Every structure is written in C-alpha cells, then in structure tokens.
Amino acid sequence: MTTRSASTSTLDHLLTEIEHRNPAQPEFLQAAHEVLETLAPVLAARPEYAEAGLVERLVEPERQVIFRVPWQDDRGRVHVNRGFRVEFNSALGPYKGGLRFHPSVDLGVIKFLGFEQIFKNALTGLGIGGGKGGSDFDPHGRSDAEVMRFCQSFMTELYRHIGEHTDVPAGDIGVGGREIGYLFGQYRRITNRWEAGVLTGKGAGWGGSLIRPEATGYGNVLFAAAMLRERGEDLEGQTAVVSGSGNVAIYTIEKLAALGANAVTCSDSSGYVVDEKGIDLGLLKQVKEVERGRVDSYAERRGSSARFVPGGRVWEVPADIALPSATQNELDENDAAALIRNGVKAVSEGANMPATPEAVHLLQRSGVAFGPGKAANAGGVAVSALEMAQNHARTSWTAARVEEELTRIMNDIHTTCHETAERYGAPGDYVTGANIAGFERVADAMLAQGVI
C-alpha cells in the first residue's frame, strides 16, 4: 500500500467513526466530510500529523455548552429556547465566531459552523481560535423589547463561558448590531467589567470597529475579484446574482457597485427579487435594516424594473458571477447547472457552506472559479480580530486603515489558497487550497503544544 492510499483509507475509517459518534448532525458531517476529503495529500506528506492524532482531535470540540434560555414575551407568556456555545479549537487564540439566532439552530448546525470557523480563522493569519454559538430563538416578528429580554437571558448563562482571552462571540444570522448591544449591556451589568474585547460587532461609538458591518460582504467581493484577476478578468461591467438580504448580502451589493459590477437580485426565505436596473441599495437598506421588512416590499416600491418571485431561487437569473449570501445548502446541483448554462464564471461563498457538495463538484468540473466560504467570507471575522486589537490598545482606527487591512488580508488569503492548491497538485482548486492551508496552520500549532 502506498502512503497516499494509506492516508486515504485512514480518512475513510475516520469518517465512518465521525458518522457513528455524531448521529443526527447532517450539517456537521457534511462540513467534516468536505474538509477531510481534501486532506489526503497533506497527511501523506506529513506523517507526523497522523501520529499525533491531529484529525481525530480536530473533529472533537474542546468544549460544548448547552443551556436553557427562558424569556417572557410582551404579553407575559413564558418561552423556553435552547442556547449553545461550541468552543471548538483554541490552538491559535481565544475561541472566535458568531452567534446565530434562527429556528433551524441545533447542536449539529452550531458544530458545522464552529468546525468551518477553525480553518477560516487560521486562514486570516491572525491569532483567533474557532467557536460558534446561538439559539433556536426566532427573532422574526418580535418586538425590540422581546429581543432585548431574550438577549439578556441568553447572556445570563453565556457570560460565564466567555471573555476577551477566552471566547469572543460576534454576530451571524439573526444577530446584528442591535443584539450585540443588548448582549454587551448584560455582560457588563453581570460582570461589572467594561471589557470591550469580549464581543465584536459593537457600535462604532462604544468600542466597535469601523468597517466591521461591511467586512464580510466587502471581503467576499474582493475575493471574487482576486479569482477573476487570476483568469485575466475583472469585475467591471459584470452582472451578479446575490442571495439573501441581510448583513452579508447588503454589503456585497454595495462593494460590487463600487467596483463597477451590477447586482440584479436579492432574496429572503419568502422568495427573491430581480431588478433589471440593478438593486437600489438605499431602498434595500430602508426595507431590511430600518423597517426589518421582507423583500417583496422592495419590489412593490421600486417600480417597473423589479419583480418579486415568491418561493424562487436567484440562481435561475442569468449572471457572470454568483455570490450566495443567505444560508447553508441554498445552492444545489440543479442550481449549479442553471448557473453554468447561463455562463457563470465565478461563484464565491459569502454564506457558510451555501453550495451543496454536488454543486461544488459540478461547478469545479465545469471550470467555474469557486471560492469556498472559509476563504471567501473570512473578511468578517478578520475585521472582528482587528476590532479586538483596537479594543486591546484602547484605540480606534480610521475606516480607510481598516479597509486597507481587509483588502490585504483577502488578497493574502487568495494567494495562500491558490499557492497551496498548486503545491498539492490541485491547481485552481480553492477548496483544497483553503482546507489544506487552514489545516496546516492549526495542525502545526497543535503539534507544538502537545497532546491536549
């Protein structure tokens, strides 16, 4: 048996064991599978990783916390949700990753997100470990007062597990500036500490970093631009399809426009909007950020250039590039086939794991440049780490400085993924490049720190 096939069979064995140990966690198994299936060449080249049981240790979170979150609605009715924080890996720094409030949240979803976060955070080159948390609480249709009471109850348990040197949460689906404010207030009240570095995504006037709200979307567009540059093209004049209409989607659309491209779609769980003239960002921000409304209201107010397609998916709209920015598994093999039929050149993941494995393989086989989320959407957590640095130094940087750092980091991530893929015999394969480069950095740190 050659070394390569030995490492492949070790990985197959490991995957079977992971499936056995983590039943009913399909998203986590999907994420683990997607990473492990690309690691055979690096395990063959570096036998010391297998000897140190690195993959076995990496797929097991260092700590998992599950807790009850009771809260009262505006009519005084009591609700009970479940809270999670999965502290996955701290070899490179304090656990770092967002909180997701969405009814689909369960332990498997949080573990998939935490697992991805380990490699993503490693790719930023900064000192942050991987973690994720959240709740099955659904903020849709809840008043500010209800959201505040929920956040206060959530933090009343979470506070004992986090800290600027321990674990630093931020936002994700359903958690934005409003929620971070309520969470920070309750942390400060319970601990009697003005500990800015315990959460990121704070308001700019009280410890937040400029450009953090924009960072994920901006970063993904910069990553897509770098992939196009590699092929001798740029974003100028390109048409883009974007899914979602939350934080990531909005700032993706903004950066596309700044670089001369035109986003013609956005969506939410009710359906999508296609706007021939290009999405009007002022109107979208008004509908989604100010009114917390639905995208059909955008179409109603925009006039004849826009229409709302209930229940549809944006991937049927012809475009040069596609930037999925809503949620996991929102782009399947049929969607990928539609994009390819319409001549798509690049797909870059703003969301975490939005493309199914079948979709990723089809896009790659068809020669489409594919940017995996753990590389392409790392700009958000990278600027979170810059927020931590500013908090630690008790200072704040200008927007221009943060954006310059973000641009450098995204270009570095692109180069790292590209070069790593080449080094391991998979030129142009950003999935393999991102997985191996992220893995190597974490694995080397774990190797140096002993069996813990």
Positions touching ligand 2IT (CB under 6 A) are 96-98, 117, 120, 170, 172, 200, 352, 380-381, 384
- C-beta of 46 vs 374, nearer to ligand 2IT: 374
Please, which residues have CB within 8 angstroms of residue 89's CB and are 6 or more apart in sequence? 58, 61, 62, 95, 118, 129, 130, 131, 442
- C-beta of 355 vs 369, nearer to ligand NDP: 355
Residue 351 interacts, among ligand 2IT, ligand NDP, none and using kind-specific CB cut-offs from 5 to 8 Å, with ligand NDP
Contact 328, 351 (CB under 8 A): yes
In the bound complex, what is the minimum distance in angstroms from residue 296's beta carbon to ligand 2IT?
A: 27
- C-beta of 124 vs 432, nearer to ligand NDP: 124
Does 152 count as an annotated binding residue?
A: no
| d(C-alpha 424, C-alpha 78), whole Å | 55
Does 171 count as an annotated binding residue?
A: yes
- C-beta of 284 vs 381, nearer to ligand 2IT: 381
Does 117 count as an annotated binding residue?
A: yes
In the bound complex, what is the minimum distance in angstroms from residue 313's beta carbon to ligand NDP?
A: 9
Q: Give residue number: closest CB to ligand 2IT.
A: 98
Residue 325 interacts, among ligand 2IT, ligand NDP, none and using kind-specific CB cut-offs from 5 to 8 Å, with ligand NDP
| 244: Cα separation from own chain's centroid | 13
Q: Give residue number: closest CB to ligand NDP.
A: 246
In the bound complex, what is the minimum distance in angstroms from residue 309's beta carbon to ligand 2IT?
A: 28
In the bound complex, what is the minimum distance in angstroms from residue 51's beta carbon to ligand NDP?
A: 34
**If you count them, how many residues does the chain have?**
452
C-alpha atoms less than 13 angstroms from C-alpha of 409 in its C-beta half-sphere: 30
Residue 269 interacts, among ligand 2IT, ligand NDP, none and using kind-specific CB cut-offs from 5 to 8 Å, with ligand NDP
Please, which residues have CB within 8 angstroms of residue 311's CB and are 6 or more apart in sequence? 270, 271
Does 89 count as an annotated binding residue?
A: no
Q: Which amino acid is at 403?
A: E
Residue 200 interacts, among ligand NDP, ligand 2IT, none and using kind-specific CB cut-offs from 5 to 8 Å, with ligand 2IT
Catalytic residue at 374?
no
Contact 259, 228 (CB under 8 A): no
Residue 244 interacts, among ligand NDP, ligand 2IT, none and using kind-specific CB cut-offs from 5 to 8 Å, with ligand NDP
What DSSP line would sit under 110-160, residue for residue? Answer: HHHHHHHHHHHHHHTTSS-EEEEEEES---TT--HHHHHHHHHHHHHHHGG
Contact 152, 186 (CB under 8 A): yes
User: Reduced to 3 states, what is the DSSP secondary structure of residue 241?
Assistant: strand
| d(C-alpha 261, C-alpha 345), whole Å | 14
| d(C-alpha 139, C-alpha 126), whole Å | 32
In the bound complex, what is the minimum distance in angstroms from residue 359's beta carbon to ligand NDP?
A: 15
In the bound complex, what is the minimum distance in angstroms from residue 274's beta carbon to ligand NDP?
A: 15
- C-beta of 120 vs 288, nearer to ligand 2IT: 120
In the bound complex, what is the minimum distance in angstroms from residue 335's beta carbon to ligand NDP?
A: 13
232 forms beta bridges with: none
What DSSP line would sit under 153-217, residue for residue? Answer: HHHHHHGGG-BTTTEEEE-BTTB-HHHHHHHHHHHHHHH----GGG-SS--GGGTPPTTHHHHHH
Does 384 count as an annotated binding residue?
A: yes
Residue 275 interacts, among ligand 2IT, ligand NDP, none and using kind-specific CB cut-offs from 5 to 8 Å, with none
Residue 129 interacts, among ligand 2IT, ligand NDP, none and using kind-specific CB cut-offs from 5 to 8 Å, with none
What DSSP line would sit under 296-340, residue for residue? Answer: HHHHHHH-TTEEEEET--GGGS--SEEE--S-TT-B-HHHHHHHH
Catalytic residue (choose from 132, 202, 345, 374): 132
- C-beta of 96 vs 149, nearer to ligand 2IT: 96
| d(C-alpha 179, C-alpha 177), whole Å | 6
- C-beta of 49 vs 251, nearer to ligand NDP: 251
Tokens 């720094």 sit on residue: 93
Residues that bind ligand NDP (CB under 6 A): 102, 104, 171-174, 176, 216, 244-249, 268-269, 325-327, 350-352, 377, 380
Binding-site annotation: residue ranges for NAD(+): 216, 247
The residues carrying an active-site annotation are 132
